[in-house]
Amino acid sequence: MPIPASILTLAAGILLALISLWVGQTINVMPVAAADDANTVDALFKVLFSIGVGLLLGMTAMVVVALIHFRRRPGDHLDGPAVEGNLPLEIFWTAVPAIVILIVGVYSYDIYARMGGMADFNHHTTMSPSEVEQISLGNPPDPETVIWGGIDHSKGMAFPVEVTAMQFAFIFHYPQQNFTTAELHLPEGQPVELRLKSNDVIHAFWVPEFRLKQDVIPGQPTLLSFTANRQGSYDIICAELCGPYHGAMRSKVVVEDPQNFEEWLRRHTPATVATAPRSFQAG
């Protein structure tokens, strides 16, 4: 007696599930994670990866089996069975993906909210007309009060750095110490808040190891707050086409332990903080 088809199907399904779980959990295609929320993004990616591998393998296996098993043999001029549909089957393969997608959507949204993506920035519709005018002229009155969007969960407690994007460089200004650098230094394990603005066209601030990217749009200052948690030097990459040298628009972010960071800050802080010109404006 042959093995019933339902048992074979069940075995194939279990095998498929195990393979896709194994692939999703063990094959790492992401770069090293260097910020607090990077690991949660990676966890989401692993879930998506597992589901994707399972679905792709399953569909491919169906096509390959059909191509081999149901190929037309020479001399066979008959048609296949005249099956026109199967309503319960249609309902099944509508409902299952819909449920999976809703669950994944809620899960990813929860991660995004934890990252600070749902932060309320006093959206620009609530600004007074004078503020709108000032922003349009490229002179934000105070980045703390007029922010167009971004990612923020530090509730104002983070260490601030002002980031200016321009063709074709990023400039970093430390407002509390009042100096400007071409290389971003950040303390390990402390929340930081990047206040981004652009001088010319749209750029995007991207650090793959932080899993964070934020467009920097002229006239629309944005916030990006996060906590770097792994020492090292990582690339800052412009991810939005910004002109001929777009590919060369890169910088470095150095994450160091808080002591070294303080030391670095002290070395760079000008002696006369109070009277120093606001050099980042000129930069």
Partner 1 sequence: MTVHVLPTSENHQEVRHHTPWQEYFGFSLDHKVIGIQYLVTGFFFYLVGGALAGMIRVELITPMSDFMTRDTYNQVLTMHGTIMIFLWIVPVVNGAFGNYLVPFYVGARDMAFPRLNAVAFWMIPPAGLLLVSSYFIGGAAQSGWTAYPPLSITTPAVGQIIWILSVLLLGGSSIFGAVNFIATILKLRQPGLGLFQLPMFCWALLGTSILVVLATPVLAGALILLSMDIVAGTGFFNPALGGNAVVYQHLFWFYSHPAVYIMVLPAFGLVSEILPIHARKPLFGYRSMIYSILGIVFLGLIVWAHHMFTSGTPPWMRLFFTIATAIIAVPTGIKFFNWLATLWQGKLALNSALLFCCGFIFNFVFGGITGVALAQVPFDVHVHDTYFVVAHFHYIVFGGTVFVIFAAIYHWFPKLSGRLLNEHLGRLHCLLSFLGFNICFFPQHWLGLNGMPRRVAEYDPQFQLINQISSVGALVLAISTLPFLINVFWSLWKGQPAGDNPWKACTGEWLTSSPPPVENWLHEAPLVTEPYDYGSTEGTMAVTAMGGRDLWSAGD
List binders of partner 1 among 237-256 (CB under 8 A). 237-248
Q: For residue 52, state whether it binds partner 1 (rule: CB under 8 A).
A: yes
Contact assessment for residue 177 and residue 268, using Cβ atoms and an 8 Å cutoff = yes
| Rounded least distance, CB 173 to partner 1, Å | 20
Out of 10, 12, 105, 257, point to the residue binding partner 1 (CB under 8 A).
105
- Count Cβ neighbours within 10 Å for each residue of 155-180 and write b for 16 or more, e otherwise: eeebbbbbbbbbbbbbbbbbeeebbb
- Tell me the Ramachandran region of residue 85: left when phi exceeds 0, alpha when psi lies from -120 to 50, beta otherwise: left
Query: For 17-29, b where at least 16 C-beta lie within 10 A, e where not — what string?
Result: eeebbebbeeeee
Q: Which of residues 166-205 bind partner 1 (CB under 8 A)?
A: 200-202, 204
CB of 197 to partner 1, least distance (A): 11
If the CB atoms of residues 47 and 265 are measured against partner 1, the closer one turns out to be: 47
Rounded least distance, CB 30 to partner 1, Å: 6
Region of 17-25, 43-51, 175-183, 225-233 interacting with partner 1 (CB under 8 A): 43-51
Identify which of residues 125 and 272 has a Cβ nearer to partner 1 in the complex: 125
Residue 208 contacts partner 1 per CB under 8 A: yes
Burial class (CB in 10 A: 0-12, 13-18, 19+), 230: middle
Token digits for 115?
């990252």
Positive or negative: CA dihedral 241, 242, 245, 247: negative
- Cβ of residue 31: shortest distance to partner 1, in angstroms? 5
Site string for partner 1, 79-98 (x = CB under 8 A): xxxxxxxx--xx--xx--xx
CB of 47 to partner 1, least distance (A): 9
Number of residues binding to partner 1, judged by CB under 8 A: 89
Burial classification of residue 121, based on how many CB atoms lie within 10 Å of its CB (0-12 exposed, 13-18 middle, 19 or more buried):
middle
Give the residue, chosen from 119, 127, 254, 265, that forms a contact with partner 1 under the rule CB under 8 A.
119
- Using CB under 8 A as the binding rule, whether residue 27 contacts partner 1 is answered as no
Query: CA angle at residue 263 from 225 to 212, to 5 degrees?
Result: 20
By three-state DSSP, how is residue 36 classified?
coil
Closest distance between partner 1 and the C-beta of residue 266, in Å? 32
Q: Does 50 bind partner 1 (CB under 8 A)?
A: no
Residue from 19, 23, 104, 127 touching partner 1 (CB under 8 A): that is: 104
Contact 148, 110 (CB under 8 A): no
d(CA 67, CA 174): 63
Between 119 and 265, CB nearer to partner 1: 119
Question: Nearest distance from residue 170's CB to partner 1, in Å?
Answer: 14
Residues 279 and 178: their CA atoms lie apart, in Å, by 8
**Least Cβ distance, residue 137 to partner 1 (angstroms):** 7
Instruction: Say whether residue 212 binds partner 1 (CB under 8 A).
Output: yes
Q: In 3D, which of 275, 208, 223 has the Cα closest to residue 38?
A: 208
